[in-house]
Amino acid sequence: MLRRVALLCLIALLLVGGVPARAEEREIAPTDPPPTELSEAEATKLAALQNVVAPTILSPISPDDAAFLVNFSTSESQRLAFVAVADGSQTPVEQATNDFVPSSQYAWADAQTLVYLSERYAIEAQTFVSVLVALNRTTGALSTRDITLPGFPVSISPDGTRVLVELMPPDPTQTSAQAAKARLRSPFDLTVRVRPPTPARLALDMGLGPRAGDGQRSFASTEVPLAIFDLRSGAVNDLTVLPEGGEIAAYAWNPDGGRLALVHNGVGLAHRAMATNRFVLANQVTQDAMGNLDPAKNPFFQQNVLEIFDLNAPGSPPLSSVSAPEVGSEVFFNVEWATDGQTLLAQMQHPSTIAGRRFPSYTFPDDIMLRFFSADGVALGSFDRPELQGAFFTFSLARFVSPDEIIFSSPAGLEHKLYYYNRRSGEFRALPTQAGFASPQSWLTTRSSRQLIYDQSSFYAPPALYRIGWDGRGIYRLTWDNHELEMLNQVRVSRVEFQLASGARREGLLVQPKDAPFPPRQAPLVVWQEGGPGVWMGNAWGSQVERPFNLLANFGLSVLVVPLSGREGYGPALVRAQADHTNFGQVDIDEMAEIVRQMMARGWTARGKVGITGCSYGGYFTSASIVRYPELYAAANTQCSWVELIHDFQFVGAALEAYLENGGPQTKGAEYVRDSPLYNAGRIKTPTLIFHGSNDFQPIELMQSFHDQIQANGTPVRLLTFLGEGHGLSAPASQRAAAEAQLLWFRQYLGVK
């Protein structure tokens, strides 16, 4: 049946591909000269707005609470520097670090020396060798030492003395060079994509272990022995063996590196065929996504295990081994030790129970909670509050900052906040950080001064690092790399609210030019949706075309940001609302249409003055909206869009499509076609600007067909293909060309002079 559906899709594409003239298509290379249609002043301002410096914290704070390592990146370059906790002063790190890409996290060998693992190519041996890289905090100097790891490195201990490695079984047919290369290749060779990648920053790796950020799960087709390698003595101590079909989900060293907590999943010995068959494994993930697996037989629940090892007693069995079914209905997702190494915090993901489905899905959770264990694995209680959100796509991160105190980040409506919790006293409160986005991937704490370092941005201010006391006092700004950009940014941000006919309330933020009145009067504006779906969206800096709040609002166009069904920050019911029954492709799209009509009724805007844009799922939202409401939007800019869901099921991420549609195209073919903008493009009357990368996992041929159908309607349409770009635009020249095209398109069709 699936082959028949695919054949029908191919025939349809060939038919629509027969439309000849593509006069409104253009290919853009990263080497093309900058666009010239804007005035010199506007072109200069646009370039400045896009040249934001993004600081990402890379290391813990040094043992003496003095400094930490930060990557300062722009669209064109990056630099590493040690930043002083006291005043934000910076010590640049040698540029030679560019030659040594980290293959582990960073660890402090002592108060002056930060170390990490990397690789280099040994010309004489014609193979890669492992390297221990050391950075001097005072001078920024780099030094290296070749090491012979017995396997693939997973993690380095906090004191930089031990390495968790995955061992490859010996192969007597290999040469020494081939064996050395094999040791640096992960044995987790079966990859199942759970969600498509997204250009949204929130979907980047947030330091939560192998499963975070990339939308993939990696299992092993063979048994995987794990061992601890001692960098001082060279000793290799066996730890445990993961069975066929195993997966490492998370790990955590205690502060002195003497104990290791390990979370691993598996498909179980009863499913050996799954362990060696990528299709069967993918099907099992898909069945879980559809809610077809009884928890009593669901391997992703039954084989979810937390083990604690005493590394000072090599060869000993685990101090504790606890499976998820032994403690509740949730699964272990992330683990963190208390600062004294006596208590282990486990973040647990609660499976989603979708309306109309028999069993819950562990692949797509909808909430989190915390459980606590002693150093020997004895359960010590749990903690659960509505503020602990972010299980589907926008991960929360919880860390001990003392033996009893925890700080965690979590989406909260239109903000992303930091919270304080004391296990002993029960005190719980939000830290009084500025309104906006406190990055869950970029924060850490001092040991003795009880201070938190974090990365913050908002519609008003581009990213910067700040310091604040755990008591909420003494806020201090550490970095000023974007100060000029902050002064250039001239916007006004107003909170808005809409009551829907269903009774639901939706809140949002309207980003306007600084001098614009609020409420607006008959104003041109653009509605926007984030990628995902599921990714939190709200008050965070955005001056790229995929997230154009600060871009458009500084050039006379307002942008409306309203999280709708399927978004984080408003509780699990809203997260799973897209997947309930047959809601996907309709519920959030209908909500936005209702909001647009309310704004027109209020006199905020008018017909002919509303545009719509987004990338990835936001591109799908845009494309589906102009299909479903062909008369409502005056202009559209769809970027890196999904347009054909059957293709997505087959080649991108069957689990996500099955979760959203409650089935595959074999059984829900009509629903897939109804929800695919490509098959319904004949309804589009909205002038449409399309951005797409030639290397996007969403094939450019689909977007060309989408373009051709819109053109056949007699509707203005333009396709810009960015050569060499993937899912979203990374090259500065691509962003520059796209930004100008986006601005000019909305100006033309929304009546902006």
Q: What would the pLDDT profile of 25-67 be if each residue is shown by its tens digit?
A: 889 998 888 778 899 999 999 999 999 999 999 999 999 999 9
Q: Give yes or no: residues 477 and 497 share one domain.
A: no
> Are 259 and 237 spatial neighbours (Cβ–Cβ below 8 Å)?
no
pLDDT at 279 over 70: no
Domain boundary among 451, 481, 511: 481
Q: What is the CATH number of the domain that holds 374?
A: 2.120.10
Would you call 230 exposed, middle or buried from its count of C-beta atoms within 10 A (0-12, 13-18, 19+)? middle
- Mean pLDDT lowest among 285-294, 494-503, 594-603: 285-294
pLDDT at 236 over 90: yes
Q: What mean pLDDT do residues 167-187 have?
A: 70
Q: Give yes or no: residues 446 and 533 share one domain.
A: no
From residue 334, alpha-carbon distances to 115, 206, 240, 309, 349 in Å are 24, 11, 19, 16, 9
Regarding predicted confidence, which is higher, 338 or 119? 338
Structure-block tokens of residue 470 = 């755990």
pLDDT at 414 over 90: yes
pLDDT digits (tens, 9 = 90+) for 661-699: 999 998 999 999 999 999 999 999 999 999 999 999 999
pLDDT digits (tens, 9 = 90+) for 70-86: 999 988 888 999 999 99
Q: Considering just the CA atoms, what is the radius of gyration of the chain in Å?
A: 26
CA atoms within 13 A on the CB side of 290: 19
Number of folded domains in the chain? Answer: 2
Residue 211 pLDDT: 39
Q: What mean pLDDT do residues 554-580 have?
A: 94
- In a domain, residue 103? The reply is no
- Mean pLDDT lowest among 152-161, 380-389, 393-402, 729-738: 393-402
Residue 747 pLDDT: 97
pLDDT at 298 over 90: yes
pLDDT at 196 over 80: no
Q: Give yes or no: residues 462 and 337 share one domain.
A: yes
pLDDT at 477 over 60: yes
Residue 417 pLDDT: 94
- In a domain, residue 262? The reply is yes
Q: Give yes or no: residues 429 and 292 share one domain.
A: yes
pLDDT at 601 over 70: yes
Residue 8 pLDDT: 44
First-last CA distance in the chain: 53
Regarding predicted confidence, which is higher, 408 or 274? 408
- In a domain, residue 110? The reply is no
Q: What are the φ and ψ backbone dihedral angles of 574, each rounded to 5 degrees?
A: -70, -35
Q: Give yes or no: residues 405 and 538 share one domain.
A: no
Residue 17 pLDDT: 44
- In a domain, residue 456? The reply is yes
From residue 739, alpha-carbon distances to 540, 562, 641, 726 in Å are 18, 22, 17, 17
- In a domain, residue 75? The reply is no
Its domain, for residue 451, covers 173-481
Amino acid making up residue 739:
A
- In a domain, residue 474? The reply is yes
- Mean pLDDT lowest among 280-289, 402-411, 558-567: 280-289
* H or E segment to which residue 370 belongs: strand 361-374
Structure-block tokens of residue 144 = 């290296």
Q: Give yes or no: residues 472 and 537 share one domain.
A: no
CA atoms within 13 A on the CB side of 114: 29
CA distance 264 to 266: 7
> Are 114 and 94 spatial neighbours (Cβ–Cβ below 8 Å)?
no
Residue 178 pLDDT: 65
Residue 189 pLDDT: 78
Q: What mean pLDDT do residues 217-233 have?
A: 89
Q: What is the CATH number of the domain that holds 8?
A: 3.40.50.1820
pLDDT at 453 over 50: yes
Q: What mean pLDDT do residues 694-705 have?
A: 96
What SS3 string covers 26-66?
Answer: EEECCCCCCCCCCCHHHHHHHHHHHCCCEEEECCCCCCCCC
DSSP-derived pairing of the beta strands 331-337 and 343-352: antiparallel
Percent of the chain with pLDDT over 70: 90
Q: Give yes or no: residues 513 and 586 share one domain.
A: yes
Q: Give yes or no: residues 579 and 559 share one domain.
A: yes
Beta strands in 123-256 (DSSP E): 127-136, 142-147, 152-156, 162-166, 190-193, 216-219, 224-230, 236-242, 247-253
> Are 702 and 678 spatial neighbours (Cβ–Cβ below 8 Å)?
yes
Domain boundary among 481, 504, 538: 481
Report the DSSP beta bridge partners of residue 374.
343
Q: Give yes or no: residues 403 and 529 share one domain.
A: no
Instruction: Please state the length of the chain.
Output: 753
Percent of the chain with pLDDT over 90: 74
Q: Give yes or no: residues 727 and 650 share one domain.
A: yes
From residue 143, alpha-carbon distances to 80, 154, 194, 670 in Å are 15, 22, 39, 61
Q: Give yes or no: residues 458 and 522 share one domain.
A: no
Secondary structure of residue 536 in the 3-state scheme? coil
Domain boundary among 424, 455, 481: 481
Regarding predicted confidence, which is higher, 736 or 651? 736
- In a domain, residue 94? The reply is no
Q: Give yes or no: residues 681 and 739 share one domain.
A: yes
- In a domain, residue 105? The reply is no
- Mean pLDDT lowest among 163-177, 225-239, 592-606, 721-735: 163-177
- Tokens 């072109």 belong to which residue? 43
